[in-house]
Structure 1
Amino acid sequence: MPLRVIVQSVVIVWTKATRGAPRAHERAALPRAFAVPFSDAVYLHDTIAMYEREDFRPRRTQTSERRVPSNDGALQFHFADNTLTVGFFPFWGQPKRRGQRDLAQLSPNDYARLRSNARHTSYSGQYYSETVHHIAFGERIPENRFDDARPEHDVDWMADLF
């Protein structure tokens, strides 16, 4: 069985309406990880988005590839010597962050979690986002890998947005 990569990105987007209590408690209680969907793809990116304007109902989309891409959005991947190196180069929101090529080096069966947040401005006003990227690398990745297990690599790029 080939080595596979599963990325799960959980994205939460909100405005000032749920920034403070009591709705901030509702937002804080949202799940940051979900069960890993079955796939025999070498690369699967599972995105779960929850928007305030949709009452934070999870909306899931998936893309799959026959090989691991060198980048997928802000994530970068490099595979060599049975190791997957993960980089992160955010290109949206404030505060600006410099990318890093080697945030985590995963051996087979490792899991990395990358948390980041940002403040955004649009024509309709200001909004905020929190993104949690879960990255699993290995031959067999259990369904509960992201929600029941501690990551071998935990990267926190959360910033004070206010």
Structure 2
Amino acid sequence: MLLGLRQRPEPAGVGALVTVLAEGLPQWRQRPLVVPVPSWKRQANPLPALVCRELVRQLGYRRADLLERSRPVLGQHHLGRTLRLANQEGAFRCRRGPRLGEALGRPVLIVDDILTSGATGCSAATALETLGWQVVGLLCLARTPRSRTRTGRPPSGP
């Protein structure tokens, strides 16, 4: 469904997903600042921005386009976790630090569509934190399943 929404964005569908997602969000003292993950592709992924728009509309969060790509990265579809982390390292820069009093107590949520390894979110968080933002989490609509062994069972361990 998400891949279909990437190709044919449907605001009503994204709105319904955000309504369900919002039920599990904590109640912060101060409404979060939501920061969409920017795409590096010419045909940008519209979902992070659409999710942010819905969070603003439905919950009164504030959106800030603080991130930009500092360099292109490889497509990550066929990369393992270690290569994804290396691929995303330094891939973002933060456009500005917080203005006087802006970041004090305001949680910042990075918004993406699908979480696989966390490499994109970690790189984005590092860029924001370097300039003084307080990143409290990564908000995604979906998570890819853990990889399975040849027996079809999930790998053992944490």
Q: Above 0.5 in TM-score? A: no
How does the TM-score come out when normalised to structure 1?
0.28
Q: Which has the higher strand share?
A: 1
Q: Identify which of structures 1 and 2 has the higher relative contact order when contacts are C-alpha pairs closer than 8 Å and 6+ apart.
A: 1
